[in-house]
Structure 1
């Protein structure tokens, strides 16, 4: 069947007229990118590619012949410091903390990646975690193709700048046999969501504006 992936976070428009910090408390915990967990407010569309990588990992676990007893979300933390921390222990020592679960999968970031974190306190926090290497994806996702594993590795990168972009993902060899460029289309212009700044915005008004925006393209 055909599946569509919508952002697991509130939509943001690309307008430049409004300058403001973006909230960090977005995206369902299990699909939340490291930069969101670390409360970096200047995040980009790379957080969506992380989420897509998490979904791809789930799909690679249910390929015919795979061990279905291990299927499910690959970053299934039960707490997420500092948004929803465990009250029983320090997050860097909590095996079920979301960032710890992520590091179990992709390994702890390199010194180069850590140095790209602008905030010194955040850098020191990341360095508190036990150093470990990336999981062997070939063993973890034993029935996946090399193209599938390559896409997964490149989506689940700690550094946003190292992840596949949407354009690169579409061009990836993983989609070569199922992609049909003739059926693809792009928005002629970025979404116009300027109504977000209205002082009297409420649910009913917002719904009307969103419906109107959708009708422009469907």
Structure 2
């Protein structure tokens, strides 16, 4: 929801006019199979009778969000429609991750999930997530009005209180920014959007993770310097940037690129001495900082104190500097920051709880295909609707895990000197399969999609297979160190279907069972289903 007008600001309360809904308070709908179907801006919402949509809140990367009234409780809720769950598995995992994390979070400053509406079919492609509905987010508030220091203190206190709980649950948020801090006009906040969250072992500092997380302006130095081992300190840095932004009314480090972001941070904080750079993993990153470590760069070019309003209290500045320490191991934890003297007048230790259990991340290390991902979603929906627990979609065997295993085997095998030579017939079949029209393969696979549960994997494999530039038979012989100057690749009319010439010399099974075979290519009207093949000679062209 956006902000258009601001009347006044009283201590402890933010007053603003939310924008008017684009349509009437209640949208027209139809009933079908016990559900109400709304159509809003071309998006269909199929919801149970108890939800009455009252406003459209916005459009996100995963779908539309609407405001609704829950007639059973009388509460205002937000309903997010997440579409195309299985188009890209990583996007589906992100939504599933958010649902799982929000279920275990039980804290006043963290957005929880109230319901996941069960689908009408086990072949669902979308879900509806129901959460409490807050008035706006912190980004809108910062843009629309000047916050008093009292506002800033109370908001950052709640953010740190939420982070203490999140970190104690073995979770890193990894995308903390004003837009992910929801807020009511009574100044109460909830942290949201756990799609990028990951596990954080509090007893380990050797966890390898991706460094391309957190919106750039709130990205900690260890991420900008390509560290793949980091901890909850990245969330504390982001909180420090948010606190400074509330005081300033604008972003503290609005970098235009990752390099520019690093320059801005170094200019504000100064470059640490060489013996304080031990935590940087990348040798190139260390050298980069050392190249900027002349005397003129040891002292910040602009004092952090001068980047916030002049009337900011010294205690507030000290508090902020503990969140924005360049060295992540010198950055204070949420626990320590809550005990800082700056927060003494609003800190209530009894309200700063820790999670009763830690989040289990084992499932997140897997790479499930569509069928397994669908089952995982169904299990989460069954938590809210036990009546569907025993109707979990049946899993159909998928070739994805075996394809990946075969690819790993091929990669390892290609590093070794070949012990045998590909014979001419095998080469002919492989070369012809590689050069078969991509569009032809797609058409044939689509025609067989209903019988082939691994259609998406087969489609991708065949597409990659046919796009590969064909090699000549001499190239193959030369690469294997075999002299065969007289050999030449015969015309395609002499090529037989691959299934008849590829010998069963490998134990790499490409399909999951006899009923699920992976179409790779063929000759004329044949779709060749290769049951066993020499992955060394065939799959190497797909890698």
TM-score class, shorter-chain normalisation, is: 0.7 to 0.9
Unaligned runs of at least 5 residues, structure 2: 1-186, 385-543
2:332 pairs, out of 149, 164, 189, with: 164
Matched, 1:46 2:212: no
2:307 pairs, out of 137, 140, 158, with: 140
Q: How does 1:102-141 map to 2 (within 5 A)?
A: 102-129=265-292, 131-134=297-300, 135-141=302-308
**2:222–2:230 CA contact under 8 A, matched in 1:** yes
Q: Distance in 2 between matches of 1:137 and 1:213?
A: 48
The worse-fitting range, judged by mean Cα deviation, of 72-81 and 203-212 is: 203-212
Q: Distance in 1 between matches of 2:230 and 2:285?
A: 15
Unaligned runs of at least 5 residues, structure 1: 62-70, 82-96
Where does residue 432 of structure 2 map in the other structure?
none
TM-superposed CA distance for 1:116, in Å, is 3.9
- Structure whose alpha-carbon radius of gyration is higher: 2
TM-superposed CA distance for 1:56, in Å, is 0.9
User: For the structure 1 residues 39 and 137, does the alpha-carbon distance in structure 2 shift closer, same or farther, using more than 3 Å as the test?
Assistant: closer
1:194 pairs, out of 362, 367, 371, with: 362
Matched, 1:79 2:245: no
1:174 pairs, out of 328, 339, 342, with: 342
Q: Distance in 1 between matches of 2:233 and 2:383?
A: 24
**2:217–2:261 CA contact under 8 A, matched in 1:** yes
Where does residue 143 of structure 2 map in the other structure?
none
TM-superposed CA distance for 1:169, in Å, is 1.0
Q: Which has the higher strand share?
A: 2
Where does residue 91 of structure 1 map in the other structure?
none
Matched, 1:183 2:370: no
2:222 pairs, out of 32, 35, 38, with: 35
Where does residue 11 of structure 1 map in the other structure?
197
TM-superposed CA distance for 1:115, in Å, is 4.0
The worse-fitting range, judged by mean Cα deviation, of 202-211 and 30-39 is: 202-211
TM-superposed CA distance for 1:7, in Å, is 7.8
Deviations 1:18-54 (A, max 9, x none): x962111000000000110111111111111110110
Instruction: Flag the structure with more relative contact order, 1 or 2, with Cα contacts below 8 A and sequence separation at least 6.
Output: 1
**1:8–1:27 CA contact under 8 A, matched in 2:** no
User: For the structure 1 residues 21 and 186, does the alpha-carbon distance in structure 2 shift closer, same or farther, using more than 3 Å as the test?
Assistant: same
Q: Distance in 1 between matches of 2:214 and 2:375?
A: 24
**1:31–1:50 CA contact under 8 A, matched in 2:** yes
1:2 pairs, out of 182, 188, 192, with: 188
- Pairs aligned (count): 188
Aligned-partner SS, 1:127 = helix
Q: Distance in 2 between matches of 1:144 and 1:211?
A: 48
TM-superposed CA distance for 1:182, in Å, is 2.3
User: For the structure 1 residues 73 and 8, does the alpha-carbon distance in structure 2 shift closer, same or farther, using more than 3 Å as the test?
Assistant: farther
Q: Distance in 1 between matches of 2:353 and 2:383?
A: 17
Q: Distance in 2 between matches of 1:213 and 1:133?
A: 55
**1:13–1:190 CA contact under 8 A, matched in 2:** no
User: For the structure 1 residues 44 and 24, does the alpha-carbon distance in structure 2 shift closer, same or farther, using more than 3 Å as the test?
Assistant: same
Q: Distance in 1 between matches of 2:381 and 2:338?
A: 28
Q: Distance in 1 between matches of 2:190 and 2:281?
A: 34
TM-score (norm 1): 0.73
TM-superposed CA distance for 1:198, in Å, is 3.5
Deviations 1:169-188 (A, max 9, x none): 11111221112222232111
Q: Distance in 2 between matches of 1:118 and 1:105?
A: 22
User: For the structure 1 residues 100 and 209, does the alpha-carbon distance in structure 2 shift closer, same or farther, using more than 3 Å as the test?
Assistant: farther
TM-superposed CA distance for 1:144, in Å, is 1.4
Q: Distance in 2 between matches of 1:26 and 1:105?
A: 22
TM-superposed CA distance for 1:139, in Å, is 3.1
**1:104–1:132 CA contact under 8 A, matched in 2:** no
User: For the structure 1 residues 138 and 33, does the alpha-carbon distance in structure 2 shift closer, same or farther, using more than 3 Å as the test?
Assistant: closer
